[in-house]
Chain A
Amino acid sequence: MENKNSKIDSRRKFLKNISSGGILAVAGLGLYSASSCKEKSEEKTTLLTTDGKLVQVSNSEIIKMEGMEHHPATPKEAREGIPGQKFVMVVDLAKCKNAKKCVESCDKHHNLTPDRPYIKVLEMKDNEKSAPYWMPKKCFHCDNPPCVKVCPVGATFKRTDGLVLIDNERCIGCRFCMAACPYSARVFNWGAPPNVDENLAYSPETSLPNKIGTVSKCDFCPDMLRKGKLPHCVPACPNGVIYFGNELDDTVTNGEETVRLSTLLKEKAGYRFMEELGTKPRVYYLPPVDRLFPFESDTKENVKS
């Protein structure tokens, strides 16, 4: 008798555990679905709950646990560069058609309004007789940065991996760095930035959330670099204009083509913009020679391509 009772008890206990576990699991899933998820996809996944039930849950309600989801670096952590890397960018002016997809992608991931992009695609003409060309310009992350020299509180800093970042929890908004940068790479949050996500913890590596009264610029997307992915503008370009890589392993890639940096710069006569200023930029340009298409100055047409 006792055995039977204990068996019933243990089975009851087991069922109780299972069902409470199941309820917890479903409740947990329900709670996760209540948290904001930007993209509600219609895709569903079949899951097995702990009490043996098959349920169909839409993908937006499932938290991805691939590897370890890193939190973006805090302002203190962001001062350390990614070890063993020295990032460099090469922009092939011969291929740029002003598609502005890089600008779109950058604006989207940094929550920027279209009037103040980090990337500016400029129409340049070197002299009266040469042809005009498009030049995408972002921050050059100089090795002798004039902006870092003048910051009174050390809100902008140069890292060992070559990046120049901004800590907007320290910026006092004096705008000396904007006066010092000869390439006009920086933008300022004059008013309250739109669409600020208050819950997001500030990270200099994502430059989000934007803060009023502070300065901002292209950051080479260090949050992507830490995961071994390219900055957003690189794969976004439909013409493969932007190459990015690590100077220490002498390789740059534009998402499709991978080439050796030294070979690329030697063969295509890579240069830096206004080299004579001595700021030692980390962005090289390849001259707009042997272009396969004529220059079109009407930007609306170019966006379609």
Chain B
Amino acid sequence: MYAQDDMQDAKVSLSFSEDTDTKTITATVTDQNGLAAEEVELSFFVKRTFSLLKIGDGFNETDEDGVVEVAFPSDLPGDAEGNVTIIVKILDNDLYNDLSVETIKKWGVPTIINDDKDERSLWAAAANAPITLIISVTGMIFVIWFIILYIIFSFYKISKIKPLNL
């Protein structure tokens, strides 16, 4: 009903600051004229495998300077190098259109993937059986089949013995 014409496009700029034990994201919202936008609610997310994880407090509203600060959790895992994708969104705002800004920062804890594909265990693939198991089973098979083959060989020798002259 209301004209959508007065929906503006806001702009969000992000800055990141880090000191010894805290990481902070500072977002500054300006309207299309470059003026600070007050009381704009921003949603801060970190991109995860299936969805976006919300960080920050319940309501992240910009103050009179259009600035809002959000603490970034220090123990959040990132990829192998510690990169995380941070997304800041304006959603369902009365004055401004929906907006989404993405950046990649090396603020995550690097995830060291221990690809234990070749580790030997009882539940691994056939090629990765525990060494002791392979050695003991193969050893026992060798011993007993050596005996069996010796027996068969003995029968062969028996068959080769010529009968005594009657």
Contacts and interface: CB of A to CB of B under 8 A. Distances in A.
Interface core residue of A228, A244, A260 (most chain B CB under 10 Å): A260
Interface in A226-251: 228-230, 244-246, 248-251
Contact of B113 (A145, A228, A248, A260): A248
A93 B87 CA distance: 32
B30 to A, nearest CB: 29
Given A84-B79, A160-B116, A250-B76, A245 B48 contact: yes
Given A154-B126, A157-B125, A253 B115 contact: no
Given A144-B123, A148-B123, A248-B113, A260 B53 contact: yes
A149 B124 CA distance: 7
Contacts, number: 59
B131 interface: no
Contact of A149 (B49, B111, B117, B123): B123
B54 interface: yes
A105 interface: no
Contacts of A158: 123-124
Interface in A83-106: 83-85
Report whether over half of chain B's contact residues are helix, strand or loop; otherwise say mixed. loop
B156 interface: no
Contacts of A144: 123
A149 B123 CA distance: 4
Nearest to A86: B113
Interface string B61-79: 0000000000000001111
A83 B117 CA distance: 11
B51 A145 contact: no
A145 B123 contact: yes
Contacts of B116: 160
A148 B49 CA distance: 27
A258 interface: yes
Interface in A174-208: none
A249 B78 CA distance: 7
Given A84-B113, A160-B115, A249-B77, A258 B53 contact: yes
A80 B16 CA distance: 38
A77 to B, nearest CB: 14
29 contacts: A79-B125, A83-B113, A84-B113, A85-B49, A144-B123, A149-B123, A154-B125, A154-B126, A158-B123, A228-B49, A228-B50, A229-B50, A245-B48, A245-B49, A245-B50, A246-B48, A248-B77, A248-B111, A248-B113, A249-B76, A249-B77, A250-B77, A251-B50, A251-B51, A251-B53, A253-B48, A253-B51, A258-B51, A258-B52
Interface of A: 79, 83-85, 144-145, 148-149, 154, 157-158, 160, 228-230, 244-246, 248-251, 253, 258-260
Given A145-B123, A258-B54, 16 more contacts: A148-B123, A149-B122, A154-B126, A157-B125, A158-B124, A228-B49, A228-B50, A244-B50, A245-B50, A246-B49, A249-B48, A249-B76, A251-B50, A251-B51, A251-B53, A258-B48
